[in-house]
């Protein structure tokens, strides 16, 4: 299992993601600098969270035009797997690898706390195949612009194609703020049309140890690695 973690100026979850992948795969992922346009063959590329280029213009907009992105697009066209977390999800959207947009949180607050996700998708993909539909995972979020927004016809299409990976779940049934950002249909993560690219706002790499308060992130990432190794 060869994995790589992309680093832009302003990435800040790259080390945590490297620790998580090393813990799962036993191998240290390679670091991919944003200026690289010739990257080796990898099984998994992760675009970690952060505030790339200071969130200037729009979150992820400048990172999405970096040289490394065309290599990532080639990796995807060869059937490669990509995970984008938080700012990584914003970058995948800005690069038009995933559809829709991520706008400012509804209440204008930077939200940093645990959320409960509910697995939605049944489509064949390496991220969720080992998990059950309706299964709940506790994974934290930390973002300012995670409000997934898309035209109604796109939301309908994503639903029909089973491309909504996770929704924020009202785990206690009376929790008012279970959705941390006001996203359409409580969407927390979506898949590409071939299921090999996942963008999600919550941070699985921040829930890989009991000291973090939970290990559901480890479960998700381990599942993904196992499915890729096949």
Partner 1 sequence: MKIVVNISLKEGVLDPEGQAIKASLNNLGFRNCSDVRTGKQIVLNFNQNNETETLSQAKKMCEKLLVNTVIENYEINILKD
10 Å CB burial of residue 156 (0-12, 13-18, 19+) is exposed
Indicate whether 92 belongs to the interface with partner 1 (CB under 8 A): no
> At closest approach, how far in Å is the CB of 124 from partner 1?
27
Sheet holding 164-168, edge to edge: 30-33, 3-7, 44-47, 81-85, 197-200, 187-191, 164-168, 111-119, 136-143
Active site residue 143: no
Contact between 132 and 201 (Cβ < 8 Å):
no
Question: Site map for partner 1, 39-78, x if CB under 8 A?
Answer: ------------------xx--x---x-------------
Task: Point out which span in 93-101, 156-164, 199-207, 218-226 binds partner 1 (CB under 8 A).
Answer: 93-101
Q: Which one of the listed residues 34, 86, 212, 224 is annotated catalytic?
A: 86
Active site residue 212: no
| Residue from 4, 29, 80, 100 binding partner 1 (CB under 8 A) | 100
Task: Point out which span in 6-14, 98-106, 125-133, 219-227 binds partner 1 (CB under 8 A).
Answer: 98-106
Indicate whether 185 belongs to the interface with partner 1 (CB under 8 A): no
CA-closest candidate to residue 167, choices 139, 194, 192: 139
Contact between 141 and 201 (Cβ < 8 Å):
yes
Q: Which one of the listed residues 75, 94, 205, 212 is annotated catalytic?
A: 205
Q: Each residue of 55-66: b (16+ CB within 10 Å) or e? A: beeebbbbbbeb
Given the rule CB under 8 A, which residues bind partner 1? 57-58, 61, 65, 94, 99-101, 103-108, 147, 149-151, 182
């Amino acid at each position: 299992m060869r994995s790589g973690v992309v680093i832009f100026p302003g990435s800040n979850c790259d080390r945590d993601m490297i620790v998580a992948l090393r813990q799962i795969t036993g191998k240290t992922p390679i670091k991919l600098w944003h200026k690289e346009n010739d990257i080796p063959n990898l099984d998994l590329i992760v675009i970690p969270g952060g505030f790339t280029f200071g969130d200037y213009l729009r979150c992820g907009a400048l990172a999405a035009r970096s040289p490394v992105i065309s290599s990532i697009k080639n990796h995807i066209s060869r059937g490669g797997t990509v995970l984008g977390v938080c700012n990584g999800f914003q970058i995948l959207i800005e690069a038009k690898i995933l559809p829709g947009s991520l706008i400012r949180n509804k209440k204008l607050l930077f939200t940093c706390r645990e959320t409960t996700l509910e697995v939605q998708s049944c489509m064949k993909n390496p991220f969720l195949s080992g998990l059950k539909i309706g299964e709940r995972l506790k994974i934290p979020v930390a973002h300012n612009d995670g409000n997934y927004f898309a035209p109604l016809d796109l939301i309908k299409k994503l639903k029909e194609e089973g491309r909504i990976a996770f929704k924020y779940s009202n785990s206690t049934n009376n929790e008012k703020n279970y959705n941390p950002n006001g996203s359409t249909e409580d969407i927390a993560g979506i898949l590409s049309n071939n299921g090999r690219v996942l963008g999600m706002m919550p941070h699985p790499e921040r829930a890989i140890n009991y000291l973090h308060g939970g290990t559901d992130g480890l479960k998700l990432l381990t599942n993904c690695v196992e499915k890729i190794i096949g």
